[in-house]
C-alpha cells in the first residue's frame, strides 16, 4: 500500500534527502519518496504503518521536521526549536553551505550532508563569565573580586574558554603537523627513485622501503585524516555524495592498492612492477593527497572565522559592567543584573550599557558602530541612547528601557546571525549542479580509466589508475556550495556595520533587481520630529486655548509622532489636560474619543468626512495656505462641528534630496506616497525634485499601488516607518523599514535602516550590487575550475602537449579552490557602500 503525507519544516534539497533517508529507515517501509516543492512524502509499505511511527522517527532525528496527514492543519510550533544556549560563541552550530536550510546543531561536528565542519554561531549574549579565580588554587571560583580563602592572593578574572571555532582550528592544525611529519619522509623516499643509483637502495631493497612507507602512512590515514574516510562512508551510506566521497574513494583506492601490492605482489602483471620486482606503491600519493586536503581544511577553518568577524566586532561593543544609581549611591554592577527602569550613570568615554532614555544631563554620543555614520550625535534629556555606543566628554543619567536580548545591539546581532544562515534564491543553481556532481565525477573517473587502459601508452594500467584518481581528487563540489553563503555572510556583516540590517539573503538578491522605490513622507523623507507651529480656531464657539486643550487631551492616548508633538506643545503651554474616554485610532484618517460628554474627532479632511463634520471652503482655504508650505494641518471637530485646527511642521532630512538623486542616477524610479493632503505632498515633492507622488493615501491605497506596479512588471521596494506602512512593506518585493519607526514596520520589512535615513537605501543598493557581483564571481570561478580541472586531470592535454596532472597537484588545486572562494568573499569587508 502507498500513503501520501504532508511534511513540514523542509527548506532545501538537503532537507528533502534527509527526511527521505529518515523515513526509509522506518521498519516496514519499502520505499519513501519526498517532494520538496509539494512538501509531501509518498511512502510504500507492506502493511499499514501508523503515522505516529513516522512522527517518532523524525522527532528522534532532531525534531526539525514533522509529518501530518494530507489536509490536516498544523502549526509551526509543532516543530519545536531547541532553546539555544546563551553565551559568547557557544552552543549553536550550522553548516556553512546551509545544506539543510537554517537547521542548527547543539554540538560541534561535521554536516551530515556535505561533510564540512560545522561553524559556530556567535551568540547574542555578551557571554562574559564575570567570575574570578585564584591563580594558585584554580578550584576557587567567585562571582566577584576578592582574595583567595586559602592563600590570600587577589583573585583574577577567569579567562573565557576557547570558542568551538578556535578549538576546531587548533585540533586540525595539530593533526596537520602530525600528517606533515609522517608524510614528508614518505614523499622523500618516493622521490628518491628519480635519483640515478638511488642511495637508499644501498641500505636495503625497495620492497623493504615500501614497508617503511606503509608504517609511516598508518598515523596519517588512521589518525590525522581518518575523519575524511568517516565522512566518505557516511556520505555513501546516506547517499549525500560530496567532496569527501571523492577524496575517500581516490586516496583510499591508492592506499589500498599499495597495501594489496605489498602483500600479494604476484597478483599484479609485470607493468605494475619496478625493476626490482616489487609492485609500484602509491603511499606518497595517498598521504600527500590527504595532507593537502587537511591543509585546505585548516585554511578554511581560519578563513571561516573571518567571515563572521562583523558579528564578533559587534559583540565586542557589548559592555560588561554599568554604574547603577540607587538611593543616591553609585555602585558598579554586572550588565546581566540591570533591570528595566533602573537609573544608570554613564561617565565620559564609557560605553552605554543598555538601551534607554537620558533623564539628566546632555552629551554627544558616537553611534558609528551601529549607524556607520562617523559624526557624533548630540543627546539631551528624553533622547534615546543605544547599548554599545560610546559616550562623549560629559556624564549623564539614563533610565534603562531595554535590557539583555531586547537591546538594539542584541537584535542586530540576532538579525545578522539569522540572515547569515538564510539561503539566497541564486543558490538553487549550485544545489542543482551539486546534486548530479559527484555521480558524474565518479563516472568520468571510470571512463578515464577505461579510455587510458584501451588507448594509453605502456604501462597502460598504471596511467589509467593514476589519472582516474586525479579526476576524483581535483573535483570540488564544496567550492560551488560555498560560493553563495560565504558572500552572504560577509555582506550581511558589512551591512550591519554600516547601519543596514538584512533580514535574509533573498533581500540582498532582490534589492539588486529593484527598479522602483516607494517612499513614505513622515519619518522617511522628513525627520519624523514634528513641531506645532500654530493652533487656530474657526468661529467663536471655542478659543484657540480651548481648541489646543481638546487636541492635547485626545492625543495623549495616541502614539503617532504628530500626536506626541501636540502633547509636548500642550505641556510647554501649561495646558490642563482633560479626561478622554472611548479613544480609538482610525487608520489613515485620525483619532476619536469623548471629552466632557462631547464627541471629539481630530485628523485630516477624510476624518472630518468620517465624523460628518462639514469643512467650508473658507476653512479649506485657510488650511491650504499652510499646506502649500509643506506643513500638515489636522482639523478638530466637536460634536460633528469643525472647531479649529493645528499646523504641524516636520523638517525634511538633510540627506533626503541627495539620496533620492543618487537612487535616480542608478535608474530607480522614486515615488512618494503619503497620507497627507495634496498641497503638502506637492510642496515636499517640489523641494526634492520628485516628479511622481500621490497624496491622501490610506494603508489599503499604498498596498494597491504596490500591487499595481508589480502587475506592470516592476520590482518594487517600499520604505516606510509606521503601522500604516506595514501592509505595503509586506507586499513589496523588498520592504525597507526605518529603524526609527514602529516595531510592526520593522517586523514587516526585509531590510531595516538603523538610522532611519534615506541614504541607508543607497547603502543597501550598493551592498546588494557588491554582494551579487561577488556571488557571481564565486560561482563562475567554482564552475570554471571544475569544468577545466576535471578534463585536464583526465589527461586531455597528454596527446598534444604530453602533460599529465599528478594526483598530488590535483589535491593541492582542490584544497585551494574552496579557500580562494572564501578569500574572494572576504574582499567584501573592504568595499565602500
Q: Where are the alpha helices (DSSP H) in 475-542?
A: 477-497, 505-511
3-class DSSP state of 534:
strand
Chain segment 264-274, per-residue pLDDT in tens: 877 766 666 66
Task: At 793, list the grid cell.
Answer: 586531470
**CA 21 to CA 7: how far, in whole Å?**
14
Q: What is the pLDDT of residue 809?
A: 83
Please give the C-alpha separations between residue 221 and each of 255, 290, 530, in angstroms, as whole numbers: 9, 8, 71
- State the DSSP code for 25: T
**CA 420 to CA 333: how far, in whole Å?**
33
336 is catalytic: no
Burial class (CB in 10 A: 0-12, 13-18, 19+), 515: middle
**CA 262 to CA 647: how far, in whole Å?**
96
Q: What is the pLDDT of residue 454?
A: 92
Q: What is the pLDDT of residue 261?
A: 82
Edge-to-edge strand list for the sheet holding 716-720: 500-502, 751-753, 734-738, 716-720, 516-519, 669-673, 692-694
Reference 510, options 745, 727, 775, 717; nearest CA is 717
Q: What is the pLDDT of residue 372?
A: 66
Q: What is the pLDDT of residue 306?
A: 67
Edge-to-edge strand list for the sheet holding 329-334: 329-334, 321-326, 343-346, 396-402, 355-360, 384-385
Residue spans of the chain under pLDDT 50: 74-90, 124-129
Whether the CB-CB separation of 410 and 794 falls below 8 Å is answered with no
Task: At 694, list the grid cell.
Answer: 500621490
Q: Within a 10 A sphere around the Cβ of 701, how many other Cβ atoms?
A: 15
Exactly one of 512, 520, 721, 725 is catalytic; which is it?
520
**CA 339 to CA 354: how far, in whole Å?**
10
Reference 521, options 661, 702, 746; nearest CA is 702
**CA 726 to CA 708: how far, in whole Å?**
17
**CA 420 to CA 412: how far, in whole Å?**
12
Q: Torsion-angle region of residue 122: left (phi > 0), alpha (psi -120 to 50) or beta? A: beta
CA dihedral 365, 366, 367, 368 (to 10 degrees): 170
Whether the CB-CB separation of 507 and 717 falls below 8 Å is answered with no
Please give the C-alpha separations between residue 483 and each of 428, 580, 666, in angstroms, as whole numbers: 12, 60, 27
Task: At 140, list the grid cell.
Answer: 576557587
Q: What is the pLDDT of residue 82?
A: 36
Whether the CB-CB separation of 56 and 43 falls below 8 Å is answered with no
Edge-to-edge strand list for the sheet holding 598-603: 531-537, 642-649, 632-638, 598-603, 590-595, 580-586
The enclosing H or E element of 471 equals helix 460-474
Angle between helices 460-474 and 807-826 (to 10 degrees): 10
Burial class (CB in 10 A: 0-12, 13-18, 19+), 482: buried
Q: Where are the alpha helices (DSSP H) in 580-677?
A: 605-610, 617-627, 656-665
**CA 445 to CA 439: how far, in whole Å?**
10
Whether the CB-CB separation of 680 and 632 falls below 8 Å is answered with yes
Burial class (CB in 10 A: 0-12, 13-18, 19+), 480: buried
Amino acid at each position: 500500500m502507498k500513503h501520501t503525507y504532508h511534511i513540514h519544516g523542509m527548506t532545501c534539497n538537503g532537507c528533502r534527502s534527509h527526511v527521505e533517508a529518515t523515513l526509509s529507515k522506518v521498519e516496514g517501509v519499502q520505499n519513501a519518496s519526498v517532494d520538496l516543492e509539494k512538501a509531501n512524502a509518498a511512502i510504500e509499505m507492506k502493511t499499514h504503518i501508523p503515522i505516529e511511527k513516522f512522527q517518532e522517527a523524525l522527532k528522534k532525528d532532531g525534531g526539525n521536521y514533522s509529518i501530518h496527514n494530507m489536509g490536516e492543519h498544523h502549526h509551526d510550533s509543532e516543530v519545536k526549536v531547541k532553546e539555544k544556549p546563551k553565551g559568547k560563541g557557544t552552543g549553536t552550530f550550522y553548516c556553512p553551505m546551509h545544506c539543510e536550510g537554517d537547521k542548527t546543531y547543539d554540538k560541534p561536528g561535521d554536516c551530515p550532508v556535505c561533510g564540512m565542519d560545522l561553524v559556530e554561531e556567535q551568540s547574542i549574549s555578551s557571554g562574559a563569565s564575570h567570575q574570578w579565580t585564584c591563580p594558585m588554587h584554580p578550584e576557587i571560583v567567585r562571582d566577584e573580586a576578592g582574595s583567595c580563602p586559602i592563600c590570600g592572593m587577589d583573585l583574577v578574572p577567569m579567562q573565557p574558554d576557547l570558542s568551538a571555532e578556535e578549538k576546531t582550528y587548533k585540533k586540525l592544525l595539530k593533526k596537520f603537523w602530525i600528517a606533515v611529519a609522517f608524510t614528508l619522509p614518505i614523499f622523500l623516499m618516493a622521490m628518491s627513485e628519480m635519483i640515478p643509483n638511488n642511495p637508499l637502495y644501498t641500505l636495503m631493497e625497495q620492497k623493504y622501503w615500501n614497508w617503511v612507507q606503509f608504517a609511516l602512512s598508518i598515523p596519517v590515514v588512521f589518525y590525522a585524516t581518518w575523519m575524511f574516510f568517516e565522512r566518505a562512508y557516511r556520505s555513501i551510506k546516506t547517499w549525500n555524495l560530496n567532496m569527501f566521497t571523492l577524496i575517500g574513494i581516490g586516496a583510499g583506492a591508492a592506499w589500498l592498492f599499495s597495501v594489496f601490492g605489498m602483500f600479494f605482489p604476484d597478483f599484479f602483471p609485470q607493468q605494475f612492477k619496478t625493476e626490482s620486482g616489487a609492485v609500484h606503491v602509491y603511499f606518497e600519493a595517498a598521504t600527500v593527497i590527504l595532507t593537502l586536503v587537511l591543509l585546505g581544511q585548516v585554511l578554511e577553518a581560519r578563513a571561516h572565522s573571518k567571515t563572521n568577524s562583523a558579528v564578533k566586532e559587534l559583540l565586542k561593543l557589548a559592555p560588561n559592567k554599568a554604574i547603577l544609581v540607587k538611593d543616591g549611591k553609585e555602585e558598579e554592577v554586572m550588565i546581566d543584573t540591570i533591570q528595566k527602569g533602573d537609573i544608570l550613570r554613564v561617565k565620559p568615554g564609557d560605553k552605554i550599557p543598555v538601551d534607554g532614555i537620558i533623564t539628566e544631563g546632555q552629551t554627544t554620543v558616537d553611534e558609528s558602530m551601529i549607524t556607520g555614520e562617523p559624526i557624533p550625535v548630540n543627546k539631551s534629556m528624553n533622547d534615546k541612547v543605544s547599548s554599545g555606543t560610546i559616550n562623549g566628554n560629559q556624564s549623564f543619567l539614563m533610565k534603562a528601557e531595554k535590557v539583555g536580548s531586547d537591546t538594539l545591539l542584541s537584535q542586530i546581532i540576532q538579525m545578522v546571525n539569522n540572515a547569515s544562515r538564510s539561503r539566497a534564491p541564486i543558490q538553487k543553481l549550485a544545489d542543482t549542479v551539486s546534486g548530479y556532481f559527484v555521480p558524474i565525477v565518479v563516472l568520468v573517473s571510470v571512463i578515464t580509466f577505461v579510455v587510458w587502459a584501451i588507448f594509453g601508452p605502456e604501462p597502460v594500467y598504471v596511467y589509467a589508475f593514476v589519472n582516474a584518481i586525479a579526476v576524483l581528487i581535483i573535483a570540488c563540489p564544496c567550492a560551488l556550495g560555498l560560493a553563495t553563503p560565504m558572500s552572504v555572510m560577509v555582506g550581511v556583516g558589512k551591512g550591519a556595520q554600516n547601519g543596514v540590517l538584512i533580514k535574509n539573503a533573498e533581500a540582498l538578491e532582490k534589492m539588486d533587481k529593484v527598479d522602483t522605490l516607494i517612499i513614505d513622507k513622515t519619518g522617511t523623507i522628513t525627520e519624523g520630529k514634528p513641531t506645532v507651529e500654530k493652533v487656530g480656531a474657526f468661529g467663536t464657539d471655542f478659543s484657540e486655548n480651548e481648541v489646543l486643550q481638546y487636541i492635547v487631551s485626545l492625543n495623549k492616548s495616541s502614539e503617532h509622532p504628530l500626536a506626541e508633538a501636540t502633547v509636548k506643545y500642550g505641556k510647554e503651554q501649561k495646558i490642563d489636560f482633560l479626561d478622554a474616554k472611548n479613544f480609538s485610532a482610525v487608520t489613515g484618517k485620525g483619532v476619536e474619543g469623548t471629552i466632557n460628554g462631547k464627541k471629539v474627532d481630530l485628523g485630516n479632511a477624510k476624518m472630518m468626512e468620517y465624523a460628518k463634520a462639514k469643512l467650508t471652503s473658507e476653512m479649506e482655504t485657510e488650511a491650504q495656505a499652510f499646506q502649500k508650505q509643506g506643513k500638515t494641518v489636522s482639523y478638530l471637530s466637536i460634536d460633528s462641528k469643525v472647531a479649529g485646527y493645528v499646523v504641524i511642521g516636520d523638517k525634511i532630512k538633510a540627506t533626503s534630496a541627495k539620496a533620492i538623486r543618487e537612487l535616480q542616477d542608478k535608474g530607480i524610479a522614486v515615488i512618494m506616497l503619503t497620507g497627507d493632503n495634496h498641497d503638502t505632498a506637492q510642496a515636499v515633492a517640489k523641494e526634492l525634485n520628485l516628479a511622481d507622488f500621490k497624496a491622501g493615501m490610506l494603508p489599503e491605497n499604498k498596498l494597491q499601488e504596490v500591487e499595481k506596479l508589480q502587475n506592470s512588471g516592476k520590482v518594487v521596494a517600499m520604505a516606510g516607518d509606521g503601522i500604516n506602512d506595514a501592509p505595503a512593506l509586506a507586499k513589496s518585493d523588498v520592504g525597507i523599514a526605518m529603524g526609527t519607526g514602529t516595531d510592526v514596520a520593522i517586523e514587516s520589512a526585509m531590510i531595516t535602516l538603523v538610522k532611519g535615513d534615506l541614504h541607508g537605501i543607497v547603502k543597501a543598493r550598493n551592498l546588494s550590487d557588491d554582494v551579487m557581483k561577488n556571488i557571481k564571481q564565486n560561482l563562475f570561478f567554482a564552475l570554471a575550475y571544475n569544468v577545466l580541472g576535471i578534463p585536464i586531470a583526465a589527461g586531455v592535454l597528454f596527446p598534444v602537449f604530453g602533460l599529465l596532472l599528478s594526483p598530488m597537484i590535483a589535491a593541492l588545486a582542490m584544497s585551494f579552490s574552496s579557500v580562494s572562494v572564501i578569500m574572494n568573499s572576504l574582499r567584501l569587508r573592504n568595499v565602500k557602500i
